[in-house]
Amino acid sequence: MLNIGILALQGDFEKHGAVIERLGHRPLFVRRAEELRGLVGLILPGGESTTFLHLIEKLQLRQPLIDFAGRWPVFGTCAGLIVLARSNDNLPFPPFGLIDLEVTRNAYGRQINSFIARVELKSQLMTRQIEAVFIRAPKIVSMGREVVPYAWLGEEVVMAGNNRILAATFHPELTSDTTIHQFFIDAYILPAISLSER
């Protein structure tokens, strides 16, 4: 059983926790820096990115989160992706710059323009279609050379990662499909554990 953290400042952190439990692991909700100890991975959920960054700064979590990401994998969904990206538009604080992505917020429109679509997941571990929920979703507009695309909506990349950060523009916790969380565990957390034990 793995201890997987979920940043629980706002957004769908409880739903992410339910998915982690379904996969047989222990979700631990993180609100303070000391709660990062003992985790082997962390999820930054969706929410409102401006509020998210304000809370991170207010609670002095920026550097502890960046330090954690230097040792263990982090998965950002929707607003979590925005926080992790290299650049974004009109944010009150700079994003973390942990993955070389340029992102546009609310790229598909307002809440009323939210939608569900089939996306194509392709990796060395699997190739399949999954259902994805897009709510005021950001859009990846450019990627650095070290970033690997993993999922597409038509021609648009909607999930990508580097060696330690995974980021998705959609909400995988809002469907019954556990594929994306399992991918985070299999492709990111388990290899990181193996490296730490050498």
Q: Domain of 110?
A: 3-196
**How is residue 110 annotated by DSSP?**
S
Number of domains in the chain: 1
pTM of this structure? 0.92
> Which residue is catalytic, options 14, 25, 48, 173?
173
Interacting residues of 55 by C-beta distance below 8 A, sequence separation 6+: 9, 10, 61
- Output the domain CATH number for residue 22: 3.40.50.880
Q: For residues 50 and 119, what is the distance between their CA atoms, to the nearest angstrom? A: 27
Tell me, yes or no, if 57 is annotated catalytic. no
In order along its 198 residues, the chain shows pLDDT tens digits of 999 999 999 888 999 999 999 999 999 999 999 999 999 999 999 888 788 888 999 999 999 999 999 999 999 999 899 999 987 667 778 889 999 999 887 656 555 557 888 999 998 877 889 999 988 888 898 999 999 999 999 889 999 999 999 999 999 999 999 999 999 999 999 999 988 876
Active site residue: 16, 25, 78, 181, which one?
Answer: 78
- In the annotation, is 54 catalytic? no
Q: Answer for the pair 141, 102: CB distance below 8 angstroms, yes or no.
A: yes
CA 154 to chain centre: 21
